[in-house]
Amino acid sequence: MKRTLLSVFTLGFILVLGSPATAQTVDSLPSWNEGKAKQSIIEFVATVTEKGSPDFVPPAERIAVFDNDGTLWAERPMYFQLLFALDRVRVLAPQHPEWKDQEPFASVLRGDVKGAMAEGMTSVAEIIMGTHAGMTTAEFEAVVNDWIATARHPSTKRPYTEMVYQPMLELLDYLRANGFKTFIVSGGGIEFMRPWAEKVYGVPPEQVIGSSIKVRFEMRDGEPVLVRLPELDFYDDKEGKPVAIHQQIGRRPIAAFGNSDGDLQMLQWTTAGQGPRYALYVHHTDAEREWAYDRKASMGRLDNGLDEAEAKGWTVVDMKQDWKVIFPKEKK
């Protein structure tokens, strides 16, 4: 018995002794090509986690915030939540006979998505409210879970949860392994993301921040329910992102990750704090493996953000150059 114990403990001791050396040689970001972007991440993490360093940041303050659309998963041909809403219009149409004469629903039902979007954000808001409200929160969650499990991206035919960026999944894991608490701060709907964000990104519901519609507490047959109302509660984009971060996290993040001008204020707010700060833009430069767009895009435009990143020395990821793979399960 004693001999066995000794062996077990000796083995344990060797493993423990071995781990710091091992950690340095294991690549936590294998889908990132060697280069400035990858190096800047590793250096920042080393800086804030080195005990005794003047730039050491206690784990409780290691808050990292990530945009979702275009930063953690793709956003072409349009925001995936909008594709979800368009699918919902078709599914719900039999319960809404009035929709066949009512825009933007009528155009959606005729298959004319471009026509449906004629009024821009007004059209989008009507489609969202018409498909996301008028049910309990539990009912909506079931609808999202069903869609995310069965729907396929129109061009790649993959499930949407496989349209996430493998290098960003590694980055989320790497930050958490270094004591960071990772949050999503998205213009998308909180309740559209929460049902699957924990499984796909490792981000629990309470760390998912986004846009929301109002809900109302009601008693139905003695049971409390929350009913979703067709009324905007909060639009989590641009100036809204620092506001939401403040109201819901209550600490200024030390690292922020985005891909568009909608994330600019979040990156400004993050980097304006004291001590070491990190900001990164994902730049969509890979028309072959993903999509290429920036200054002139109607969704996910990155224009002022590119200029400010240049001026302030923020990291800009060139997807084509910096990422070995884009999506999970690709060959490296």
- Work out the burial of residue 47: count CB atoms within 10 Å of its CB; fewer than 13 is exposed, 13-18 middle, 19 or more buried: middle
Q: Does 204 bind its own copies (CB under 8 A)?
A: yes
HSE at residue 107, side-chain half, CA atoms within 13 A, is 14
Query: Shortest distance, CB of residue 321 to its own copies, whole angstroms?
Result: 31
Q: Which of residues 113-172 bind its own copies (CB under 8 A)?
A: 137
Q: Does 250 bind its own copies (CB under 8 A)?
A: yes
For residues 20 and 13, what is the distance between their CA atoms, to the nearest angstrom?
A: 12
Q: Does 181 bind its own copies (CB under 8 A)?
A: yes
Q: Does 5 bind its own copies (CB under 8 A)?
A: yes
SS3 330: coil
From 27, 43, 233, 307, residue interacting with its own copies (rule: CB under 8 A): 233
Query: Shortest distance, CB of residue 173 to its own copies, whole angstroms?
Result: 17
Measured from the CB atom, is 13 or 27 closer to its own copies? Answer: 13
Those residues whose C-beta lies under 8 Å from the C-beta of residue 293, and which sit 6 or more positions away, are 76, 284, 300, 301, 302
The answer to whether 182 and 203 have CB atoms below 8 angstroms apart is: yes
- Per-residue binding string, its own copies, 33-72, x by CB under 8 A, is ---------------------------x--x---------
Q: Does 246 bind its own copies (CB under 8 A)?
A: yes
Task: Give the closest residue to 38 by CA, choosing from 331, 324, 332, 287.
Answer: 324
Strand-strand pairing, 292-293 and 278-285: antiparallel
Q: Does 312 bind its own copies (CB under 8 A)?
A: no
The answer to whether 191 and 212 have CB atoms below 8 angstroms apart is: yes
Q: Does 242 bind its own copies (CB under 8 A)?
A: yes
Query: Shortest distance, CB of residue 128 to its own copies, whole angstroms?
Result: 17
Q: Does 251 bind its own copies (CB under 8 A)?
A: yes
DSSP code per residue over 220-254 = ETTEEEEEEEEEEEE--STTHHHHHHHHHT-S--S
Q: Residues interacting with its own copies, by CB under 8 A?
A: 5-6, 9-10, 12-13, 60, 63, 137, 181, 190-191, 194, 198, 204-208, 212, 215-217, 223-224, 226, 233, 239-240, 242-243, 246-251, 265, 268-269, 272
